Amino acid sequence: MRGYFGIGVEGISKPMNLGALFRSAHAFGASFVFTVGAAYSRNAADTTDAAANIPYYDFADLDALRLPKDCALVGIEFREDAAVLPSFRHPRTAAYLLGPERGSLSPRLVACCDHVVKIPTRFCVNLSVAGAIVMYDRLLSTGRFAERPAAPGGAAPLPPPVFGDAVVRRAGR
């Protein structure tokens, strides 16, 4: 897989949700996790201590938010005008941002997003579940997996790529 991703939240209020999100981010191979206007303290839901194993950035507010160059900011928000996740092509480099549990991403933050995406559910799902769904979708769409078979059941995993011997070129030949 090429590229990288990070995932974070704006103004979260439940530490267990944040711990579960960070644990999932660690499991899905996130390059970093972050908060905007929220505090993080390790809790029982983060059994992998993600913030000690991958970079964790704590931004006081939107003005303090800094992302790597060419990293797309993708807001995850339950909005009518948002792209639907199954039809969304994930950027090679992305930072996914979820809003607080009992609210939405701030309008100012939405205006800063390169993309806004929604999960096609009847109503909002738990914040940590939403983050896990987005990371799983990224893994499926950008990873190296065999096509799903037409009949029920699983496909065999793809073999690892095979590379030939190194080619050495000499000047004058």
Cα 67 to chain centroid, rounded: 14
pLDDT for 90-129, tens place per residue? 999 999 999 988 888 999 999 999 999 999 999 889 999 9
**Strand partners for 66:** none
Please give the pLDDT value at position 124. 87
Kindly give the parts of the chain with pLDDT less than 70. 1, 40-44, 172-173
The token pair that represents 144 in the structure block: 């190296």
Compute the distance between CA of residue 7 and CA of residue 31 in angstroms, rounded to an integer.
9
pLDDT at residue 160, rounded to an integer = 76
List the beta bridge partners of residue 95: 6, 73
Q: Three-state SS across 74-104?
A: EEECCCCCCEEHHHCCCCCEEEEEECCCCCC
